[in-house]
Each structure stands twice: as structure tokens, then as C-alpha cells.
Structure 1
Amino acid sequence: MAPLEFETYTLDPRPHYPFLITAKRYWNPSHYHDDDDALTVILAHATGYHKEHWEPTIEDFYDVLAEAGSNNPVKIREFWAIDAPNHGDAAVLNEELLTWGHTPIFDWQEYARSIHAVLTNLGTGINVDFRSRKLVGVGHSMGAVSIILAGTFMPEIKFLSVILVEPMIYKTGGPIVNFIELSARRRDIWPGYQEAYNQFSSRAAYQAWDSRVLDAYVKHGLRDLPSAEYPDKQGVTLKCTKAQELACYRDTVGKARVWTYMDHLCSTIPVHFIFGAINDSVSKKTQEDLLRNSAKGLQASVARVPGAGHLIVQTSPRALAEAIYVDLGSDIASDFVPGPARTGVQSRL
């Protein structure tokens, strides 16, 4: 397989939208990268992570395509991964703005607005006409909510389908773990990048991660001090500050709006849910409530990745790539007809 290529972009949508938005485009030169018929996949990350966490999944996805051979029906033009405005590289660019009005709660709709700004060419810095592209949205956790919300703003973004990886959408039940408590206790200053890597890699939770993701977490998720939050400190710290991570966990508006919109989405385009087989974040009962009462039993597919929990992107990029490949293949073979008459969840458990 030809090496994966990428370019990094910063969109400046001001004065229409206050945040600078960072994105990265990935493509394989030997696979339909200039084909107007091929898919452009938009990727949104979970709380506390950033766009580069998708890189191992993208790499493994192209391996899956290569293994499928010449009869493979799935054609990918490129992948675009977009940072939330308080995560990754965007968090550094927006650090002063984020100190006012975006704590103690950060509305997930801001991430959706950022995605929408990129895909509607609001501003300067990305010279791509996404309106002419065949778009598929893929989001993990908070990113799944944000992908859906991005499609509700005007002008309309027309996704051909969406793939929701461990979406953090619930009305009852809620998370099994207290993310706010865990985030509040976490360490966020280290003497240097190597010391941070050593500390992460010594902990069981991070040892379960794919090594490529852990490398990206340190390389792209940390920054040099001093910062706006720690103006008198030295060493390295998180690009997404603890205050902003906590602010994301406190939001309830984004997921509430998606809950009431899900049945419309499922009656309009193909929707795919990918869950980890290990319910370590949201209970299976809560997930079933989402499918039954939010999606209202409308046509959708459900896959459960063996051995994975909520952090599928971090622990199981190959298995996730395979699941996404199956979903995209099913879209191509689908006779999906918009409208509420098509009901029933199709399960790949």
C-alpha cells in the first residue's frame, strides 16, 4: 500500500464564527483520491481527544480496502478529521477566547458549528467545495452527537449516511462511570513529553490502547508550557485543558437535541451504530433505549466490536476500520428508501 498522505489546515471563519478550526486531510494516492464518485469521510473525535486519534483507524481502513482486492465496491476519495474548537491544535489557537463564556459548560453544538463551518466553506483557509462531495459522517462519542447536529444547521449538509461510534446519547440511564470525577483528578502537567509518555504507558488503561494512538496522544495532544491556564509553569500540558474537558462533560443540551432528532435522521438516510461489546461507559440497556425510543425502531444497523469498550478508536482501530468498511459497503448495496415506513434495526452482534 502506498504511504498515507496528509495536509493540515486552519479555517478562519471570523467574524461569522469566533473560533479558528483545525482539520487534517488524509488520502492514499493509489486509491481513488481524485475520483468525484468516491466518498469523502468526515471524522469527529470524542471528548478529551483530537483529530489525530483517527489516524490508526484510517491506516487500517486502507489495509482493509487493499485486502478486499479489485472487487471492493467501497471507494474513498479522502478522510477529513476535524478538531473541536477546545481540543487539539484548535485549543491552542483559541485558548484566550475559551477562557470566557465556555466554562463551566462547553456546548457540544460548538463542535457541530465547527464541522458545519468547514463543510460549508465559511471563511478562509480550506479551498475545497464539500457541497460537491459524497459525504459520510463518522463520529465517536461527543463527535457522533456533533456530526448529527452539524447536519441540522443551515445551509444544509447532505450526508449520504452517518456512522455513530459509541454515541453519547441518552435520556435515561446515563454513563456508568463518573467522567467529571475522573477528569478532575487527572494529572495535567509533566516535565516533558517523554515523562508524560512514560506515565501514560505505565498505566493499565493506556496499555490497552493501540500503541499508535498513544504515540499520537502524546505528540499531538500535549503542548509546551507556559499557557493561558498555567502562565507561570514549565514543562508540557494537555492542549485540551482539564477545565475544557470538564466543561464538555457537563453539557446536556447537545445530546438532548440529538435524542429528539434521531428518528428523523433514521428515516432520512442510512444510520449505523457501532458499539463496543464491553459496556464500560453506557449500559446496554441505555443503548437499547436509544434505539427503541430515540430512533423509534426505524431502520438502522447495529454492530458490536468484540473486546472493545467505549474507547474503540483508542483500543481497536483495526476492528473499527472493519466495521466501518462493512457499513459503507452496505450503503452501496442498500435499497434504502427515505421515510418512516422502513422500520427495524438490523443487528450484526
Structure 2
Amino acid sequence: MLKKSGVVKGATTRTKKYATVHRDDIFDLAYNVYYSPYVAKRPSAPHLDTRLRLVLCHATGVQKEYWEPIIERWFADPAIGGIVSEIYAYDNYSHGDSGLLNRHKVGNESNWLDNSRDLVAFCHGLGLSSRNGSPLVAIGHSLGGSTCLYAAVLDPGLFTSIVAIEPVAYDGSISNPKKAKDPLRLLHYMKSSLKDEFSSREDWLNYFEKESMYAPFDLRVKSALRDTLVYQEDGKYKVKTPTWAHVQSYIGSRHSIRAIYNGLLNIGIPTLHIVGGSARWNHPDTGKAISHALGEVGELIVVPKVGHMLVAENPVETADSVKSFLVKSRKHWIDNEGCLDPATGKVSSSKDYDSLFIPDPEFFEHDTLGQKVEAHRNSIGHALDLAVKGDASHLPGPDILRQAIDLANAKAKL
């Protein structure tokens, strides 16, 4: 599996005053990008590539590598590997490699809404957006699921669809304060059970395999995490995500769950909500509450006999539960946001999308929108001319085409 790593900047502002050590600190976000082993049927410009790009957001206490068994299973299936071009997985600002990069920047306040701001900044920093003409799907687990949901509220056009796996986006206190979790008992348990420093590799492996939160994980996930969770310093093995980062993350959720849940009402893209049939971490009414808030854009799947950490404990079941939604997401994007067929002036269907025209190569050599319009007119001249003469608001299409039509209309009025 071809993989590359990189670093991109997070959000430039934080919700909490003391979220960073210095006010002008900006967190670094370490990421891996995994490339599909399947070659596209024909050369395609980035903004006309109909394959999906995925962005993965992890849960508290783990890091980007725990997605790798799921990614491998997706790429092993031609039905998915053939429609996905790239998969990006990054570490939350206080976790994993991001946590190491930011260890002298992270303050003592946390708010989960900032994780969503980081996700938006991450995508923008890498030029990932459904506005670019290629579908982009956000997939998150627990903390990461909430991150994806609220990011879609902050930037409604960023994603094509969302997969939220056991998202922490509903608290019983929203409807009944008596049903809220006791945060002090949770934090006491974490402080007493988590370890983040070990005298030797043997000491670390013994803890990892027998005592840690990672012990129940699937063997494939443990293989991906065993050596990537720790680093060596001063002759010791230290966990990249220390105990305080776990604790701070959970505290941060208390300040944001209500806002995340209320934001669900503003999500207008297909959203798959996956619940573990045996999960007990979230409030028992979470599935019903989130489905009610999402309305017609929401789809709920209950995966039997799996718990809250299904991504790590049941990667096969998790990967398979998402497959059909990914296929539907691509079809939905093509049918609703696809490119105009130059012969008919209509949006092509998902069945014949791959046979659409290839624009003149000169189109991609121009930098300014005005130049692109002039070059592009030769390819879709008939459809564009019709749009300029009439009302183009009803014509869906890539963002660049909408801009081209708007600019052409503006020129016509001069």
C-alpha cells in the first residue's frame, strides 16, 4: 500500500483563550495519505476526477495508523478501490505525531469545536474540497465523528458526504440533566489506569498487550499501532499521546457537545451514522436523537455485536458497513454535482459519466478564471452560451463551471 506522510497547519484561531501556550501559536497536523492501487481508466484533470477522496479522523487515545487495516480492506475490494483515489488520515493536534510536534504549543484548555476548525484548515491546506470538482467524504470515529459533523456545519460545501462512527455528539443532559455522565468518575478512572512512560520496550509491550486500552484491539490494528504509538527519549519509551492529552480531550467535549448536536440541524449532505450494537459509551438515545436531528439526510446503521471502539476492535465489520454508502455517495455526487454533457446541456448520469468529454488541454494551462472561461468555451460552448442567455441558476455542475457562468453573465451586462 503506497503511503506518504506530511504536515499541514491547523486552524489559526482557537475557541479557548488558553488553548495554546502563546496566542499566535498554530498547531501542526501530521498526516498520512494512502493511494489506491487501481489506475484510473483514463487520464483525468483533478477537478474532473469522479473518484472519491476520503479524510479520516480518529478517536481519543488512538492515532491515524489505526485506520490502516480498514484502508487495506477497502483497497482490496475493486468495487471500492476503483472509486477511491486517495485516503488522508491525520492526527488530532494533541495526539500521535501531531502531539509531538505541538508539545510546546498545547495549552490547558480544550474545546472540540476547534477540532472541526482544524479539519477545515487541514482540507483547505491540502486543496481538498468538493468544490474542486471531485467528491470528498469525511469519515470519523467517536471524537473524530463529532469533528466531521461540526466541520460540515462550519463549511457546508466542503464535503460530499459524512460517515460518523459512534460520534460523541449527544449527551443525555441535553434532554435530561439527570442522565448526564459523571465526568469526575471518568477522569479518575483514566488517570489511574493510563500509563505513558516505560523504562524499556519490553515494559511497553507488556502494558500494550495486556493492560492498556489497546489490549482488546484487533491484531491487525495492534500491529499498526505497536511501534507508532511510542517514541524514545532519554532512554525511555514514551507514548506520543500522554495521559493529560486523553484527559484534556474528554474535558473539552463537555464544552461542545450541545453545540455539535444543535449544528446537526444545519447539515444538508448525506450522512451515515454507524452505531455499535453492543456499544455503551454514548447515551442509549444517541442513535434516535441524531437521526431526528439529521432528518432526511441521515442514515442509521447498527452493526451487531460490536462496541464503541469498533474501528479498532472490529475493522472488518466497520469497513464493510461503509462500503455501500461510499458507492451511493459517489453516485449521488455525480448525479447532482456532476459535469454538464456538452451535447445536451444536462447533467450526465453516473452510468455514462466516465465517457464525458476531456476538456482541451489548454484549459488547464491558464491560471486566471477569465482565461479558463475563454479556453473552456470551446469545449462546452453550446451549453455555456445557453446559460449566459438565460437563467443559469438551475444548472448544477463543478464550482469552476458555476463561476465561469457567473463571470460570463457579468461580462454580458457590461
TM-score by length of 1: 0.79
Counterpart Cα distance in 2 of 1:210 and 1:176: 29
Alignment CA distance shift 1:310-1:219 (3 Å): same
Q: Which residue of 2 aligns with 1:255?
A: 257
Structure of larger gyration radius: 2
State whether structure 2 residue 34 is matched by structure 1 residue 5. no
State whether structure 2 residue 165 is matched by structure 1 residue 165. yes
Q: Which residue of 2 aligns with 1:77?
A: 85
State whether structure 2 residue 189 is matched by structure 1 residue 182. yes
AA of the residue aligned to 2:5: T
AA of the residue aligned to 1:328: L
Alignment CA distance shift 1:110-1:193 (3 Å): farther
Q: Which residue of 2 aligns with 1:313?
A: 311
2:36 to 19, 22, 28: 28
Q: Report deviation, 1:325.
A: 0.5
**Which segments of 5 or more consecutive residues in structure 2 lack a partner in the other structure?**
14-24, 173-178, 338-414
Q: Report deviation, 1:205.
A: 5.7
Alignment of structure 1 residues 208-287 onto 2, 5 Å: 208-226=216-234, 234-251=235-252, 252-265=254-267, 268-287=268-287
8 Å CA contact 1:25–1:78 kept in 2: the answer is yes
State whether structure 2 residue 105 is matched by structure 1 residue 97. yes
AA of the residue aligned to 2:96: G
Q: Report deviation, 1:207.
A: 4.2
Counterpart Cα distance in 2 of 1:243 and 1:86: 9
Alignment CA distance shift 1:237-1:157 (3 Å): farther
Counterpart Cα distance in 2 of 1:149 and 1:15: 17
Counterpart Cα distance in 1 of 2:323 and 2:102: 35
Aligned residues: CA RMSD: 2.9
Q: Report deviation, 1:278.
A: 0.5
Counterpart Cα distance in 1 of 2:280 and 2:39: 36
8 Å CA contact 2:153–2:266 kept in 1: the answer is no
Which has the larger share of helix? 2
| Percentage identity across paired residues of the two chains | 21
**Which segments of 5 or more consecutive residues in structure 1 lack a partner in the other structure?**
227-233, 339-349
Q: Report deviation, 1:254.
A: 2.9
Q: Which residue of 2 aligns with 1:202?
A: 210
Q: Which residue of 1 aligns with 2:148?
A: 147
1:108 to 105, 112, 117: 112
Deviations 1:192-217 (A, max 9, x none): 33431222212496443111211232
Q: Report deviation, 1:236.
A: 1.3
Q: Report deviation, 1:134.
A: 1.4
Query: In structure 2, the residue corresponding to 1:220 is in which secondary structure?
Result: coil
Q: Report deviation, 1:116.
A: 1.3
Query: In structure 2, the residue corresponding to 1:308 is in which secondary structure?
Result: coil
Counterpart Cα distance in 1 of 2:82 and 2:8: 29
